[in-house]
Amino acid sequence: MIKQKLVIGNWKNYLDADQTIELATKISNQQIPDNIRLMISPCNLYLSEVNKALNESSVEVISQNITSYESSSDTGGVTATDLKNIGISRTIVGHSEVRKRNKDFKSEDLLKQIIPAKFNFILCFESIDQIPFNILNNDFEITLAYEPVWAIGTGETASIEHINEIHSLVKSTLSEFNLDIPLLYGGSVNPNNSKEILSQKLVDGVLVGGASTKHEDLFKIINSIR
Ligand code: 13P
């Protein structure tokens, strides 16, 4: 079996409705190489439509955030249960932009709700102490993503040495806990650096913001390790 690298396009709030559907439709018409597993995370407002546009493809559509598992008294919240009802079974959790907005955010609180329900997630972290290793497990698809905040949207990518150093530390801690969890890098990944980053043994994939909203750049990244 080919070992696939994961590429996640986090479109944040960059695209309006028309641009979102146009890009999703273009992606649906294109071949994804066998060594890449692609996930797309549009603005939550367009999840259903993007999911429909990519329905026939191998691309998985995922949420950028949730606020709880089940419905609660929480204006503006997005629940995993609602996502499941529209056919979405994975979310990003704890992105630094979410942590910045919500200073009280503690990943444990949310993860304690979604882990028992086996709702797949990608937990973003800037420092290793933001990973609650003791509550993670191998029972469903958990993914981690190292996203140094200074590299997000700045064009300043972490050096390969730095990425390998952090990934090595996280991976050795994961193995101490007997966890088999993929680890992604995110922060100014673009077509010029994706080949080197994706080629690293300790990097299981990339979480891409800005560059993933441009069709040509996204496919250059996807095809960079063909
Ligand atoms: P950029 O690729 O735009 O730096 O964003 C990274 C990111 O935040 C992905 O979640």
Closest Cα partner for 158 from 121, 206, 215? 206
Q: Identify whether 95 is a catalytic site residue.
A: yes
pLDDT of residue 2: 73
pLDDT of residue 145: 98
Decide whether any atom of ligand 1 lies within 6 Å of the 9 Cβ: no
Report how far ligand 1's centroid is from the alpha carbon of 130 (Å). 18
- Rounded to two decimals, what is the model's pTM? 0.97
Decide whether any atom of ligand 1 lies within 6 Å of the 217 Cβ: no
Spans of the chain below 50 pLDDT: none
Decide whether any atom of ligand 1 lies within 6 Å of the 8 Cβ: no
Contact partners, residue 83, CB within 8 Å, separation at least 6: 47, 63, 66, 89, 91, 119
pLDDT of residue 72: 86
CB contact at 8 A, 50 and 23: no
Q: Identify whether 141 is a catalytic site residue.
A: no
Report how far ligand 1's centroid is from the alpha carbon of 59 (Å). 19
Tens digit of each residue's pLDDT (9 = 90 or more) over 109-124: 999 999 999 999 999 9
